[in-house]
Amino acid sequence: MKKRHFLQKISLGLGVLPVLGFTPSAGKTSSPKNLLPAALKKGDLVGLISPSAATADLMQFTFAKEAMEGLGLKVIEGKHLKNRRGHLAGTDEERAADLNEMFANKAVKAIICIRGGSGAARILPLIDYKTVKNNPKPLLGYSDITALHNALFAQTGLITFHGPNGSGTWGKFNVNQFKRLFFENNGKLVYENEVEETEDLVVKKNRIRTIFSGKATGELVGGNLTVLTSLAGSPYLPSFKGKILFLEDIGEEPYRIDRMMSTLMLMGVFQEIKGFVFGQCTDCDPSGGYGNLTLDQIFDDYLLPHKIPAFRGAMIGHVPKQFLLPHGAKVILDADQGILTTDQSIFKTV
């Protein structure tokens, strides 16, 4: 058998292996109906898990626990939270078990990921999606947690939350967002960049650049560009048809951003989405060589031909102050103002 055909057969076979009695349905043409979690209230119990990389500094566990308690919540730690296997926070089975147990535990009202890093994609086939469907609850995190956001939405329709990790920054901006989203939840949420005071004649921080003007409405999906594109060809990406795509990244040179945007282009993503927003690309400066495309050129190349409302510069990504976005919820994108507004109820009524 020729090597190419052998590898094709192997890759196809791996995509349909049944795990925990669940067989992923590859090649989805549509996303499941929205599955709404319940809102939180002060005093609720939340589960702290580590589905990605290990945490070397033991104080990070303390910081995460104290942050949740400072928000008025009680904390239960995953059984394998502090485990380590290489760069991972335990074996795949251990990390998946903590996630599954938190969804199964009726007393736990939300799940907080302590950090990102790498490794969440390894546990996607081990998630008990049936239990998730029967026990919908908020899951919070970003960066490598992008793998969980997209898999849970693709397989169950669950709305999750792209925002600070448990051991991340919990300054005034992020705390106010958390409380407004989970505790108040009294109507539409508007995500508009904060304008900070400056002595400069021109405001330069948190500025929006409109790539293509207009408004669009659709379900919000996306996350970290590197993690998202690593799921290409798997059943753990939702359909992009009619969606609003948001992206961010860190530590990637422009040529790598271009390569990953080309992957999305070859997947047909830009032909399917209704709107696009890029947040921050932290530490994405080019190194030496013969020259580089700028990020502006890259986004223009891939987006302008499709004439979809698009902007960049939103407070999304590896930055201290970041939006806490409902992944999978219907939103309105205004590319001229650089604003996202929720257009549906995010939480189920009890």
Contact 23, 131 (CB under 8 A): no
- DSSP for residue 125: G
For helices 295-303 and 254-266, what crossing angle results, to 10°? 10
Beta strands, E only, 225-271: 244-250
194 is catalytic: no
Cβ atoms within 10 Å of 323's Cβ, excluding its own: 26
327 is catalytic: no
The one catalytic residue in 31, 50, 52, 143 is: 143
143 is catalytic: yes
Tokens 């005034």 -> residue? 172
Q: Which long-range contacts (CB under 8 A, 24 or more apart) does 129-136 make?
A: 129/22, 129/155, 129/156, 130/21, 130/22, 131/100, 131/103, 131/104, 132/103, 132/156, 132/158, 133/35, 133/158, 135/103, 135/104, 135/106, 136/35, 136/36, 136/37, 136/38, 136/348
The one catalytic residue in 94, 101, 219, 248 is: 248
- For residue 38, how many C-alpha atoms fall within 13 Å in the half-sphere facing its CB? 18
The one catalytic residue in 80, 149, 318, 327 is: 318
Return the active site residues: 143, 248, 318
